[in-house]
Structure 1
Amino acid sequence: MTGPGDNTEQPEQSTPPAQSVLDDLRWRGLLAESTDEDALRAALAEGPVTYYVGFDPTAPSLHHGNLVQLVTARRLQQAGHTPLLLIGGSTGLIGDPKPDAERTLNDPETVAGWVERLKGQVTPFVDFDGPNAAQIVNNLDWTAPVSVLEFLRDIGRHFRVNKMIQKEVVKARLDTEQGIGYAEFSYQILQAFDYLELYRRYGCTLQTGGSDQWGNITAGVDLIRRAAGATVHAMATPLLTRSDGTKFGKSAGGLTVWLDPEMMSPYAFYQFWFNTADADVGQYLRVFSFRSREELEMLEKTTAERPAAREAQRVLAEELTTLVHGADECAQVIAASGALFGRGALTDVDARTLDAALRETPHVRVERDTGGALPPMVDLLAETGLVASRSAARRTIDEGGAYLNNERVTSVESAPSAGDLLHGRWLVLRRGRRNVAGVEVST
């Protein structure tokens, strides 16, 4: 576990002018596909464009893979365009086809609950006031009233099966013994229907999404051309990869980085980004940060010259934690990180943040003895793994390298008292400057 620096100042956000937003996206590595880049560039330069990006409630929270789309939506709005954030109350009942297996369908009540949760998660990324105010829309509003016959006659007739089966994920499923069910096969029609309805209702003429959705996105462009005789635009961001070539998606090393603080604490969220590899942090800053190009290039230079300072990682972690969880939560996380390593008062850290922080360290749960006494420090140091044995714990204490709640332990016979418990339940142990562990005392 690594402790960040103490600088909490937030950057001024840099807003590119409308005519250069595509150039900015390209420099940041966020422009992988476009139906017609010159036409899209002209449309963005002519005036406000209404655009949309969709998120399906197939889980109770969005994850860090969705962040690419959310920050791209934010950039386009800052450039003067109008966002529609679609939460898929109907498409979430079906689910985008996976390349390897059929999805498990969730019941309507569960999906409806997830829709409401996702609405709250997308809200911090865009502005809901002003001339290009964002709106959140739910595709269940226009899908539910349509009968099967109406959908097949008015929408389905514009699609050709021979073209639909050329989609990469469909081809992958057709090559398996299980095949693909009609519900998932029809997903691209549902998504295309969304674009048509948003075009009709809001004048939406741009859809953005990940490059893995390109087939579904262009299906909507084609549907609008066939059904409404209009030309609209589409743009896709690349799927991010790490420096080792692995996919930057929902799961990273077995860890799912959720945006919901109930599923992943702001402290753990911060630490994920702070622990970004030096080889990746420059790319992630370009994608996720709203600092200027000059600032980001300087941070990349700093990483190359002084990697141990981890300045770029600090900026990335602070900016994203503030954006997702708010400035107050980010400040608490930074205070907790500093306090764990002796650079602040542990008593100033609130109970929820301290609990989350210590659960990211080696930690143990202990009980008082029959008389209410807590185990001695020698035992606690060994049980947490800060030292290899009780004899090693004694040596560490004798050498002045053991700390309880940031106070040096001076006697091998010492034991914590009830008054040492932080928020009535936690002890913070440290060996040396950088090795921290937590002890949770059963109440």
Structure 2
Amino acid sequence: MSVLSILKERGFIEDLTHTEELEDYLTNNRATCYIGFDPTAASLHVGSLVCIMALVHMQRHGHRPIALVGGGTGLIGDPSGKTELRKIITQEQIDGNKKGIKNQLARFLDFSDDKALLLDNAQWLTKLEYIPFLRDIGRHFSVNRMIKAESYKARMDSEDGLTFIEFNYMLLQAYDFMQLGKSYGCFLQMGGSDQWGNIVAGVDLIRRTVGKQAFGITFPLITTASGIKMGKTHKGAVWLDAEKFSSYEYYQFWVNTDDADVVKFLALFTFLPMEEMKQVKHLEGADLNKAKAILAYEATKICHGEDAAIKALQASVSMFGSLEISNDLLPGSSIPRGTHCVTSDNSVPSSSYTKKDIGKIPVVDLFMNVGLCKSKSDARRLVKQGGAYINGNRIAVFDQMILENDVKDNAILLRAGKKKYHKIILN
């Protein structure tokens, strides 16, 4: 099966250019493709995973991916998908962010022996001269066509409007594509659906200047079954950097996937065979939760390594109870099979309460009683700062009570900050 067929089957593709020619190109060539990554933070987040996983699929099928860090365009800011002006960051911030992004991408892609390349468009964009750029590149762009692009229309209709510096972004991204085509034989650009206008502009520029056929693929915006943008939670972004979002928290993010999203996320965010997912469509309740555990394990293994995935699985079992994974459930997964039990050396502190206490104890009292906070005022301050959680859900108000729907498997997991946990066991 071709890589294009696999990307379609697994739900990656929203739109593409020149379908038949692209299929032929990928079938008969060791193609070089690229995706751009904004260096606006020191870590990528789950919202970038579709792009990253697509590059990995390309590499696994013998093609060469380029991860292009936008050190040059980051000095301007991409208006695509934004209704407000992006904050312009400094060169020093960009340099620091680039280092973190490079380290993260190296977990997914093999950069040895030029099997993948990591480039920075600052190498060529910061050396451009304005008049030659307008003469040689700008003359190929029609303003009438540019303002019809969705990314520009949204900004022009917003209160802030579209600045001239942002208006240049499409030209610069198209120039990137042309430069990669000339220097690296890269004639396929991929990206999110909001990049369609920029990608098509690059395809057209390559045709006009290089005289070769280029291609584009866009991916859909991934939303959860509840309509929330993928990677957005009550806690903010789900970062790929373990220092910003621990491997345990990452595991828990995936294990808490909505029932309706399990099959879709298995297809997008793991490499498990598609035929194995047919059985998952018919699972319910506890059996579906086991499939979620495999999803969480595989996603964590890909991002943080197998050791981190095993530790996250064990920590989850210690906090939420035993888990049995049979040999026939998603057999392509490397998750340890059998029954995972709560070990006697469980390092998570716990306290026993009776079920009669449900509905009678305010959370601030509970956090103080179990030692997660020194006093009620300390607990109130923790809630106000957004650092108090029940079963991974942030506590919003001081007088919130512990209720029956907070109980999972006769237990409640409290968390203060990122690393302090306490388990309430109900008798």
> Does 2:305 match 1:323?
no
Deviation at 1:350, TM superposition (A): 11
Show the counterpart of 2:104.
121
Aligned counterparts of 2:306 and 2:275: Cα–Cα separation in 1: 24
Residue 29 of structure 1: SS of its match in structure 2?
Answer: coil
Deviation at 1:254, TM superposition (A): 5.3
Task: After TM superposition, list the pairs within 5 Å mapping 1:195-206 onto structure 2.
Answer: 195-206=177-188
Aligned counterparts of 1:270 and 1:426: Cα–Cα separation in 2: 17
Aligned counterparts of 1:427 and 1:219: Cα–Cα separation in 2: 51
For residue 277 of structure 1, the aligned residue among 255, 258, 263 is 258
Aligned counterparts of 2:141 and 2:411: Cα–Cα separation in 1: 70
> Does 2:354 match 1:365?
no
Describe the shift of the 1:196–1:350 C-alpha distance in structure 2 as closer, same or farther (beyond 3 A). Answer: farther
Describe the shift of the 1:384–1:152 C-alpha distance in structure 2 as closer, same or farther (beyond 3 A). Answer: closer
Task: After TM superposition, list the pairs within 5 Å mapping 1:38-437 onto structure 2.
Answer: 38-97=20-79, 98-129=81-112, 133-244=115-226, 246-253=227-234, 255-301=236-282, 303-304=283-284, 306-341=285-320, 343-345=341-343, 347=345, 365-367=372-374, 428-432=422-426
Show the counterpart of 1:415.
none
Deviation at 1:427, TM superposition (A): 7.3
Aligned counterparts of 2:271 and 2:243: Cα–Cα separation in 1: 26
Describe the shift of the 1:427–1:86 C-alpha distance in structure 2 as closer, same or farther (beyond 3 A). Answer: closer
Letter matched to residue 319 of structure 2:
L
Show the counterpart of 2:331.
none
Describe the shift of the 1:58–1:38 C-alpha distance in structure 2 as closer, same or farther (beyond 3 A). Answer: same
Deviation digits for residues 163-186 of structure 1 (CA, Å, limit 9, x no counterpart):
111111211221234211111111
Deviation at 1:150, TM superposition (A): 2.6
Aligned counterparts of 1:144 and 1:33: Cα–Cα separation in 2: 31
Aligned counterparts of 2:126 and 2:281: Cα–Cα separation in 1: 49
Deviation digits for residues 335-382 of structure 1 (CA, Å, limit 9, x no counterpart):
21122246334757699xxxxxxxxx97853449xxxxxxxxxxxxxx
Describe the shift of the 1:384–1:145 C-alpha distance in structure 2 as closer, same or farther (beyond 3 A). Answer: closer
For residue 36 of structure 1, the aligned residue among 13, 18, 22 is 18
Aligned counterparts of 1:134 and 1:115: Cα–Cα separation in 2: 17
Aligned counterparts of 1:329 and 1:43: Cα–Cα separation in 2: 38
C-alpha contact (below 8 Å) 2:31/2:63 kept by paired residues: yes
Deviation at 1:249, TM superposition (A): 3.6
Describe the shift of the 1:338–1:38 C-alpha distance in structure 2 as closer, same or farther (beyond 3 A). Answer: same
Identity of counterpart residues, as a percentage?
A: 39
Aligned counterparts of 1:275 and 1:249: Cα–Cα separation in 2: 13
Q: Structure 1: state its 5+ residue gaps.
A: 1-16, 352-360, 369-382, 387-392, 394-400, 405-424, 434-443
Aligned counterparts of 2:389 and 2:74: Cα–Cα separation in 1: 43
Describe the shift of the 1:384–1:299 C-alpha distance in structure 2 as closer, same or farther (beyond 3 A). Answer: closer
Letter matched to residue 212 of structure 1:
D
Aligned counterparts of 2:103 and 2:259: Cα–Cα separation in 1: 32
Aligned counterparts of 1:276 and 1:364: Cα–Cα separation in 2: 30
C-alpha contact (below 8 Å) 1:278/1:307 kept by paired residues: no
Aligned counterparts of 2:389 and 2:313: Cα–Cα separation in 1: 24
Q: Which has the higher contact order (CA 8 A, sep 6+)?
A: 1
Describe the shift of the 1:162–1:333 C-alpha distance in structure 2 as closer, same or farther (beyond 3 A). Answer: same
Residue 180 of structure 1: SS of its match in structure 2?
Answer: coil
Q: Structure 2-normalised TM-score?
A: 0.76
Deviation at 1:308, TM superposition (A): 4.7
Residue 31 of structure 1: SS of its match in structure 2?
Answer: coil
Aligned counterparts of 2:35 and 2:107: Cα–Cα separation in 1: 15
Aligned counterparts of 2:308 and 2:344: Cα–Cα separation in 1: 16
**Which structure: larger Rg?**
1
Deviation at 1:24, TM superposition (A): 1.4
C-alpha contact (below 8 Å) 2:238/2:250 kept by paired residues: yes
Aligned counterparts of 1:385 and 1:222: Cα–Cα separation in 2: 52
Deviation at 1:334, TM superposition (A): 1.4
Aligned counterparts of 1:229 and 1:427: Cα–Cα separation in 2: 61
Describe the shift of the 1:270–1:149 C-alpha distance in structure 2 as closer, same or farther (beyond 3 A). Answer: same
Give the number of aligned pairs: 355
Residue 205 of structure 1: SS of its match in structure 2?
Answer: strand
Deviation digits for residues 262-305 of structure 1 (CA, Å, limit 9, x no counterpart):
2111111110110001111111111111011111222333x24x
C-alpha contact (below 8 Å) 2:390/2:412 kept by paired residues: no
Letter matched to residue 314 of structure 1:
A
Aligned counterparts of 1:99 and 1:272: Cα–Cα separation in 2: 26
Q: Structure 1-normalised TM-score?
A: 0.74
C-alpha contact (below 8 Å) 2:247/2:312 kept by paired residues: yes
Describe the shift of the 1:348–1:201 C-alpha distance in structure 2 as closer, same or farther (beyond 3 A). Answer: farther
Letter matched to residue 255 of structure 1:
G
Aligned counterparts of 2:61 and 2:279: Cα–Cα separation in 1: 24
